[in-house]
Structure 1
């Protein structure tokens, strides 16, 4: 299996002094995801949690929604000269009777580590295919406290162990609505980190993820909002900005969307009713 980090030589310049030394970098390798033996997608990812990544990706594609819908996930054998497992190719076999959405039959997608899949950039596509629209849209007024929210970025950062050695990984964390940390994943791509979280939840039989909050270390793109909705997650928070399409999707589906979550400061772009905004803040 591939390594999470790699060592490469670097010339460092610090205050005019030049030195040579090895540096620890985050590893980035391609992963091909196959569905029932047919190529479906290639993503650039940090090796690790590959089966969860593949499962989470298929949740976001509307293929999977429960652990029992998966017959087997395995690395593909026979793709190397000696016939051993190829750790950059994962095949997901669906259980008997699981329907295959038409959209997945026509796509063989390459995605970079900085961008999720853009083939479904349509609000209608996501809204009509999510299995748990009522879970995402269910109103729980005031269930998220501001004191709890402002602590989450620091808690995520403390859990990013590989980031400490490389400085080059995104993080995604899943919390309960009262702030209990459920899981943290890291990856060179934000969307991969989220897929790993969702895939692990699927494998553990925890979908839909109602009464949870997804926190990401970067911006909130349409793809990340889409992945939250497809997993039944009612709240997405990001330490940076959302995109306009992410806000549109959140508004359409009932997703609570928070951006620029940095300490006591935040912007709430959709679903503000879930947050106790004025218990700890003064209305300007």
Structure 2
């Protein structure tokens, strides 16, 4: 099987010191996902949890919602280099009663091809569950500690420093599953695939914590998995905020220490604050990191 990290010989420069040594790098390899034998997509990913990645991608695209919707996922033995399986091609087979979607119906192919009103309507059309009515509430100290809990579970990051992470947590901050990948979208898909394969969809009452920014695609994936709260250490995009507001999802950005920006769904946070003062100006300060 492929490795999640590889060793490369480097020249390390530290002030006047020059040392030749090995450095650990996050592995990046292509994965071709086939659906019922037909090529569907190719993504660059960190090898590992590939079946979860494929299953989560199908969840994100609205093709499946139950572990029974997928009959098998297997590596294709024909994908070889030098007679050895590369484990870089896999095929997911849908159950007989599950319709095979047309390729043109797949509305997210990573970050390109999605825009504006049509994208928001597409998510509303295919989402299996509503996040709006999820009654989960979170204490601010619990939210503030999520980046630390996510970082503590990043085992490959400790060796390479080059991976995104996504974690699913309970409302009390207990980790359910954490996945790492060179692609932040892949890390979230691996979580959704884990949830699907373990019969945990929809992910009501949970928090999705991501190590990067909150893009439209990540909000979209949270909605497709029934996740009511998405928190990120960096900024959201404008379309991400629009979608979160449309779907009733709580979206938190710039989560660093006890500071955060709550863009939508603040009703789910037990802030303990009695009075909230509106800032002056056009609101642009709120789009930047707190502090």
TM-score (norm 1): 0.91
The yes-or-no answer on 1:77 pairing with 2:77 is yes
User: Structure 2 vs 1, CA of residues 89 and 217 (structure 1 numbering), >3 Å: closer, same or farther?
Assistant: same
The yes-or-no answer on 1:63 pairing with 2:63 is yes
| Structure 1 CA distance for aligned equivalents of residues 197 and 114 of structure 2 | 25
Gapped runs of 5+ residues in structure 2? 278-291
User: Structure 2 vs 1, CA of residues 283 and 202 (structure 1 numbering), >3 Å: closer, same or farther?
Assistant: same
User: Structure 2 vs 1, CA of residues 108 and 19 (structure 1 numbering), >3 Å: closer, same or farther?
Assistant: farther
RMSD: 1.9
Q: After the TM superposition, list the runs of 4 or more consecutive aligned residues in structure 1 that deviate by more than 3 angstroms.
A: 81-86, 105-109, 280-284
| Structure 1 CA distance for aligned equivalents of residues 86 and 38 of structure 2 | 15
| Structure 2 CA distance for aligned equivalents of residues 208 and 75 of structure 1 | 27
The yes-or-no answer on 1:138 pairing with 2:133 is yes
The secondary structure found in structure 1 opposite 2:64 is coil
Q: Which residue of 2 aligns with 1:124?
A: 121
* 1:20 CA displacement: 1.1
Whether contact under 8 Å (1:236, 1:258) holds in the other structure is yes
| Structure 2 CA distance for aligned equivalents of residues 190 and 139 of structure 1 | 25
| Structure 2 CA distance for aligned equivalents of residues 282 and 80 of structure 1 | 63
The secondary structure found in structure 2 opposite 1:218 is coil
Per-residue CA deviations over 1:237-256 (Å, capped at 9, x if unaligned) read 00000011100100111111
TM-score (norm 2): 0.89
* 1:79 CA displacement: 2.4
* 1:197 CA displacement: 0.6
Per-residue CA deviations over 1:72-97 (Å, capped at 9, x if unaligned) read 00001222267664400010000001
Residue 167 of structure 1: which of 161, 166, 185 is its match?
161
Whether contact under 8 Å (2:134, 2:204) holds in the other structure is no
Residue 226 of structure 2: which of 232, 240, 249 is its match?
232
The yes-or-no answer on 1:30 pairing with 2:24 is no
| Structure 2 CA distance for aligned equivalents of residues 253 and 87 of structure 1 | 37
Per-residue CA deviations over 1:121-170 (Å, capped at 9, x if unaligned) read 4111111100002xx111527x1110110011011101101101110011
Residue 211 of structure 2: which of 217, 231, 236 is its match?
217
Residue 251 of structure 1: which of 245, 251, 258 is its match?
245
Per-residue CA deviations over 1:46-85 (Å, capped at 9, x if unaligned) read 0000000000001001101000000100001222267664
Whether contact under 8 Å (2:230, 2:250) holds in the other structure is yes
Gapped runs of 5+ residues in structure 1? none
Q: Which residue of 2 aligns with 1:94?
A: 94
Per-residue CA deviations over 1:180-228 (Å, capped at 9, x if unaligned) read 2101111111111111111011000000001100000000001100000
Q: Which residue of 1 aligns with 2:40?
A: 40
Q: Which residue of 1 aligns with 2:288?
A: none
| Structure 2 CA distance for aligned equivalents of residues 35 and 187 of structure 1 | 22
* 1:281 CA displacement: 8.2
Whether contact under 8 Å (2:75, 2:91) holds in the other structure is yes
The yes-or-no answer on 1:267 pairing with 2:261 is yes
Whether contact under 8 Å (1:75, 1:86) holds in the other structure is no
| Structure 2 CA distance for aligned equivalents of residues 24 and 194 of structure 1 | 23
| Structure 2 CA distance for aligned equivalents of residues 118 and 145 of structure 1 | 36
The secondary structure found in structure 2 opposite 1:131 is coil
